[in-house]
Chain A
Amino acid sequence: MSGCLVDIDNLTIGYYTQRGKLVYVLQGVSLQIKAGDTLGLVGESGCGKSTLGQAMMGYLRSGSQVLGGSVIFADQDMFSLNGRQLESIRGRQIALIPQNAGDALTPTLRVGNQIIEAIELNADISGVAAKERMIELLGQVRLPHPDVMAGRYPHELSGGQQQRVVVAMALAAEPDMLVLDEPTTGLDVTTQAHILNLLRDIVSEMGTAMMYISHDLGVIARVSDRVALMYAGEIVEDADAAEMFASPAHPYARGLLESIPRLALAGIPNSMPGQPPIPGTLPGCSFAPRCPFATDICTTDPPALEAIPGTPHLVRCYHWEDVIATDFSQELQQVFHTISHTTGDEPAIEISEVDISYHRPGLSDRLRGTPEPPATVSDVTLSVQCGETLAMVGESGSGKTTIVRTIAGLLPAKSGRIQFDDFDLTVDVDHRPMEICRNVQLIFQNPDASLNPRQNVAEILDQPLKLYFPEMTRDERRARQIELLERVRLDERYRLRYPGQMSGGEKQRVAIARAFAADPEVVLCDEVTSALDVSVQAAVLDLLADLQKERNTTYIFIAHDLAVVRAIADRVAVLYQGRLCEVGTVDEIYSPPYHPYTETLLGAVLIPDPDYEPKLLASDTPELAPPASGCAFQRRCPYCIGDICEQKTPPWQYTEGEAGHKIRCHIPIEELALLTKGQNHNQVVDLPAEDISPKLFMHSGSDMDASTSEPKAF
């Protein structure tokens, strides 16, 4: 097809298992991308989106093979080219930006030299010119002080900075097409928002076509003009971004969009039942078993990807007319629901003035009297009521996991008290009475890591039962296992499964069942939904809320996703660098007056709406340690008012709310309210660059001297 930069026609990719069985990864994928187009490719894990991205570069995972169809890039069939021909296209005309920038950079080479290498290889420039081009590229990706940055090693850069370097390398030869495979997954929200802005600007400046692969619909909405949605190795919908998000025509697209927690809507979103099939295993539509619109024809004949008459909107569904007949925005309002629970009056856990430090002074430190660095977590005072859900939010390094591990007895506190009943939880778990251990349970982020791969579900659930209820007989334990599985909505047949034989959502349910086997009063949830697909996430949130309602359990819930917190929490504590910034009920936290940091976080959250623009307040330059004195957020604060912020720890200020909404800031509450009043999240605030980050903390490595360590914010 002429006029197209990329023309993927009916591409089918699969591999043979050791037993000679054919497994499809992609099934008849057709996709065209014009020069300068930005296409977002969305789908849940295992839907084949990365395979498609790699196929576009003429790459197949070992063992996979093209079973049909073709990939034409700039009039060349990528799978009929030899190695050298591919080399002349890759990097020059089409470049990949991978997910993990840290892995994509060579740890032993300075980043400047790595970029020069890419320039010399792909852009036919060398010597001084290449060096100049490298500095120019670093400036283009908005890295402060390009000449200083060029001399750094990858480990001396933060995740966001590494990602910028990788983008610079990909841009070396000004390619016609960029393939981005989840480049911001794993970065903090503020960093993500900055990187996405950068990518948007670069793409529109250079007229580069882009295929952006992500599972995150908020990110896709931010960067792409067109969206292709994948399900079980097929494209099920392909439409203009505005169209796709406002009025999705495929039932899966609707389900997916309805399952995303939103800042603007309180409550838990809808969840989708079931899980995707292995591509090519169903005779009809792959989505039919999970589809509320499915009829007989859906289970027998596969639908084709066809245009809605008169539009470029493609959809693979027999019932798209029924789907778009209902107004999506109204439907969205209705699916959000709350599961009410009662909160008791007395506190379940009272944390008072807790300091936690990883620093263990060595002998020489003690002899020399080296001053101790500021504690990782400092002066945290919080109380959690019985039956309440307290969420702790903050970027990576905010100390939320540290606090939770201390409550669990896995880390010692330096000072302070954590009161649980009449017991002080600052004691190591080995020295706690069994009754205390039983009452404080922990659920981890990644069920792949927190379940022993060598134990089946029965053994996994047996462990807390044997430990806390030694009087139980085998049969009693078995009955209890089945009851627990029922409570997390799993069939009793799951008892004999190993973690490797379950999906991510099922594994997390087992991990939840294990925590509830102890019948605890307090459950600590460490990012329990962040490793899960969105369609599964809502179901797990539902489950947690249900379990809380049944037993009046207290949750301490850690999350970096503010929309998830909005969905489940009663109260929120915002942490930065191990220091509390703001504590209040969900409604108080999510409306002004904000702490400047809360406002920064909320401003960076992306929502699945192409018209929405995040509000970037502070720079995304990372801080590795809290400042020695003053406010923790001083170096990134957009409203920093000078010396007082650097020298004096800000006081707690209370708002009128009766539940004790408090903000720790030197700026009076009334002024904070004014600063944020009238600004909705759709406006970008332009701040003078100097104000944004007067003093940023950088690596204190010897290769940097203090005078160069003040990068300007952008």
Chain B
Amino acid sequence: MAVATQTVEETTPVKRRSPLAETWENLRRSWAGMLGLTLIVLHILIAATSPYWVPKDPLEMNAEIRTLPPSAEHLFGTDKLGRDVFSRSMLGGRVTLVVTLIAIAIATVWGGLLGIVLGLLNGRTDELIMRVVDALLSIPWLLLLLLIISVMGTKMWVQTLTFGFTYGILAIRVARAATLDFVTSEFVLAARARGERKRTIVLKELLPNVRDVLLVDGSMNWSWMLLAFTSLSFLGFGVTPPTPDWGFMVAKNRDILAIQPWAVFGPVIMLSTLIIGINLFADAFAKAIGLDRSQGAPV
């Protein structure tokens, strides 16, 4: 006879992990991703602690020891003004990291949220704002950055907000495109049928699904932003001298490249290891979330 009310018992034990925990599991198995993450963490640690352990005063000039090659005393040698290149290279990322990290967070948050909202509205407002976004994207980015910074000055908060604004425009497009995949899905339809407010739909239904895409895109953009900021410094619109900075160091020492290449190599190695690290990490992260967890990861 029929057993109308049976209990569904657990037949196979399932590891209950949140999607985020599972992403981490996948990421941990990728050596490239872990190498990238190590490089990023190392750079952040160096930037945070270097003032306490660098061997020389990065600002101390000494005409007698100009353009020395690497030695035990000066690991990367000295620059034109006799300053220790190693110490300056270690410290040279501090401003860059602070500015770009805050800026990328701002960009991802405002661009991402606006993109999700536009994807959900998908009407005339969306159409209008997207055309403005297209117009802004058609301006060469370096020109746009230079324009804003030359008008507003090279203060750190101005630079942070400028980068946050311009890179947010890129995030809008990505977030909107990712959202469009989900707005027509039944779980969003179910939320709408319940009478949920738009805010809840954006934050509870859409954001968790778009979040991963935004994080991957944000980390890629971070590496582009680092390059952009270093370029600005190279052009003299970045960090105010004499504060050590990678871009500015390259700009000042490129004419002695033949005599003391390490004055350029130092900052370049630092910058490239960071960017390579970010790229390796972003790549592995994208793959880690690409494993379709909503379908259940392989047992």
User: Which A residues lie at the B interface, using CB under 8 A?
Assistant: 17-18, 21, 23, 268-271, 273-275, 277-278, 281, 289, 334-337, 339, 408-410, 429-430, 432, 434, 437-438, 441-442, 444-446, 448-456, 459, 463-464, 467, 489-491, 493, 496-501, 505-506, 509, 514, 518, 539, 542, 546
Residues in B with CB closer than 8 Å to A449 are 185-187
Residues A432 and B8 in contact in the complex (CB < 8 Å), given A21-B299, A23-B299: no
Which of A17, A434, A441, A444 is the one whose CB lies under 8 Å from B186?
A444
Contact indicator B195/A429 (Cβ below 8 Å): yes
Which of B1, B12, B295 is the one whose CB lies under 8 Å from A277?
B12
B20 to chain A, nearest CB (A): 9
Can you list the 4 inter-chain pairs with the closest CB atoms, starting with the nearest?
A453-B294, A437-B195, A454-B208, A450-B186
Residues A452 and B4 in contact in the complex (CB < 8 Å), given A289-B11, A410-B192: no
B151 to chain A, nearest CB (A): 42
Contact indicator A410/B189 (Cβ below 8 Å): yes
Residues A463 and B7 in contact in the complex (CB < 8 Å), given A455-B208, A500-B295, A500-B296: no
Residue in chain A with minimal CB distance to B196: A467
The answer to the question of B297 belonging to the interface, with a C-beta cut-off of 8 Å to chain A, is yes
Within 6-43 of B, Cβ neighbours of A (below 8 Å) are at: 6-12, 14, 16, 18-19, 29
Residues in B with CB closer than 8 Å to A489 are 5-8
Which of A274, A281, A429, A506 is the one whose CB lies under 8 Å from B193?
A429
> Given the complex of chains A and B, what is the CA–CA distance between A697 and B186 in angstroms?
31
Residues in B with CB closer than 8 Å to A270 are 2
The answer to the question of B191 belonging to the interface, with a C-beta cut-off of 8 Å to chain A, is yes
A459 to chain B, nearest CB (A): 8
Q: B3, B6, B19, B195 — which one has the most chain A CB atoms within 10 A of its CB?
A: B195
Residue in chain A with minimal CB distance to B195: A437
Residues in A with CB closer than 8 Å to B252 are none
Which of A454, A496, A546 is the one whose CB lies under 8 Å from B4?
A546
The answer to the question of B254 belonging to the interface, with a C-beta cut-off of 8 Å to chain A, is no
The answer to the question of B258 belonging to the interface, with a C-beta cut-off of 8 Å to chain A, is no
Residues in B with CB closer than 8 Å to A501 are 14, 16, 296
Contact indicator B10/A463 (Cβ below 8 Å): no
Contact indicator B16/A339 (Cβ below 8 Å): no
Contact indicator B196/A334 (Cβ below 8 Å): no
Contact indicator A452/B194 (Cβ below 8 Å): no
Residues A278 and B208 in contact in the complex (CB < 8 Å), given A498-B19, A518-B194: no
Q: B2, B6, B191, B299 — which one has the most chain A CB atoms within 10 A of its CB?
A: B2
Contact indicator A450/B187 (Cβ below 8 Å): yes
Residues in B with CB closer than 8 Å to A281 are 12
Contact indicator A491/B9 (Cβ below 8 Å): yes
Residues in B with CB closer than 8 Å to A454 are 19, 208-209, 211, 294
The answer to the question of B205 belonging to the interface, with a C-beta cut-off of 8 Å to chain A, is yes
> Given the complex of chains A and B, what is the CA–CA distance between A444 and B185 in angstroms?
11
Residues in A with CB closer than 8 Å to B205 are 452
Other A-B pairs beyond A408-B193, A444-B189, 11, CB < 8 Å: A271-B3, A273-B6, A277-B12, A409-B195, A454-B294, A491-B9, A491-B10, A498-B19, A500-B295, A501-B296, A518-B194
> Given the complex of chains A and B, what is the CA–CA distance between A400 and B238 in angstroms?
63
Contact indicator B209/A453 (Cβ below 8 Å): yes
User: Which B residues lie at the A interface, using CB under 8 A?
Assistant: 1-12, 14, 16, 18-19, 29, 185-187, 189-196, 200, 204-205, 208-209, 211, 293-299
Residues A500 and B294 in contact in the complex (CB < 8 Å), given A452-B187, A489-B6, A490-B8: yes
Residues in B with CB closer than 8 Å to A448 are 294
Contact indicator B193/A491 (Cβ below 8 Å): no
Residues in B with CB closer than 8 Å to A21 are 299
- Identify whether the interface residues of B are mostly helix, strand, loop, or mixed: loop
> Given the complex of chains A and B, what is the CA–CA distance between A509 and B192 in angstroms?
20
For this complex, 7 residue pairs linking A to B, each with C-beta atoms less than 8 Å apart, are A334-B1, A437-B194, A449-B185, A451-B187, A454-B294, A506-B8, A542-B4
Contact indicator B190/A17 (Cβ below 8 Å): no
Residues in B with CB closer than 8 Å to A408 are 193
Contact indicator B5/A546 (Cβ below 8 Å): yes
Residues in B with CB closer than 8 Å to A335 are 1-2
Residues in B with CB closer than 8 Å to A336 are 2
Residues in A with CB closer than 8 Å to B2 are 268-271, 335-337, 542
Which of A339, A497, A509 is the one whose CB lies under 8 Å from B14?
A497
Residues in A with CB closer than 8 Å to B196 are 463, 467
Residues in A with CB closer than 8 Å to B11 are 274-275, 277, 289
Contact indicator B187/A18 (Cβ below 8 Å): no
Residue in chain B with minimal CB distance to A438: B195
> Given the complex of chains A and B, what is the CA–CA distance between A448 and B243 in angstroms?
56
Residues in B with CB closer than 8 Å to A438 are 195
Contact indicator B209/A452 (Cβ below 8 Å): yes
> Given the complex of chains A and B, what is the CA–CA distance between A497 and B15 in angstroms?
9
A531 to chain B, nearest CB (A): 11
Contact indicator A491/B4 (Cβ below 8 Å): no
> Given the complex of chains A and B, what is the CA–CA distance between A539 and B4 in angstroms?
7
> Given the complex of chains A and B, what is the CA–CA distance between A539 and B2 in angstroms?
10
Residues in B with CB closer than 8 Å to A463 are 191, 194, 196, 200, 204
> Given the complex of chains A and B, what is the CA–CA distance between A518 and B194 in angstroms?
9
B240 to chain A, nearest CB (A): 44
Contact indicator A17/B193 (Cβ below 8 Å): no
Which of B18, B190, B211, B297 is the one whose CB lies under 8 Å from A456?
B18
Contact indicator A444/B190 (Cβ below 8 Å): yes
Residues in B with CB closer than 8 Å to A498 are 16, 18-19, 293
Residues in B with CB closer than 8 Å to A491 are 7-10
B194 to chain A, nearest CB (A): 6
Contact indicator B194/A464 (Cβ below 8 Å): yes
A266 to chain B, nearest CB (A): 14
> Given the complex of chains A and B, what is the CA–CA distance between A505 and B9 in angstroms?
12
Residues in B with CB closer than 8 Å to A542 are 2, 4-5
Residue in chain B with minimal CB distance to A491: B10
Residues in B with CB closer than 8 Å to A509 are 8
Contact indicator A274/B298 (Cβ below 8 Å): no
> Given the complex of chains A and B, what is the CA–CA distance between A442 and B8 in angstroms?
23
Residues in A with CB closer than 8 Å to B194 are 437, 441, 463-464, 467, 518
Residues in B with CB closer than 8 Å to A334 are 1
> Given the complex of chains A and B, what is the CA–CA distance between A335 and B204 in angstroms?
43
Which of B9, B190, B204 is the one whose CB lies under 8 Å from A450?
B190
> Given the complex of chains A and B, what is the CA–CA distance between A409 and B4 in angstroms?
34
Residues A409 and B193 in contact in the complex (CB < 8 Å), given A335-B2, A498-B19: yes
> Given the complex of chains A and B, what is the CA–CA distance between A18 and B299 in angstroms?
9
Contact indicator B4/A339 (Cβ below 8 Å): yes
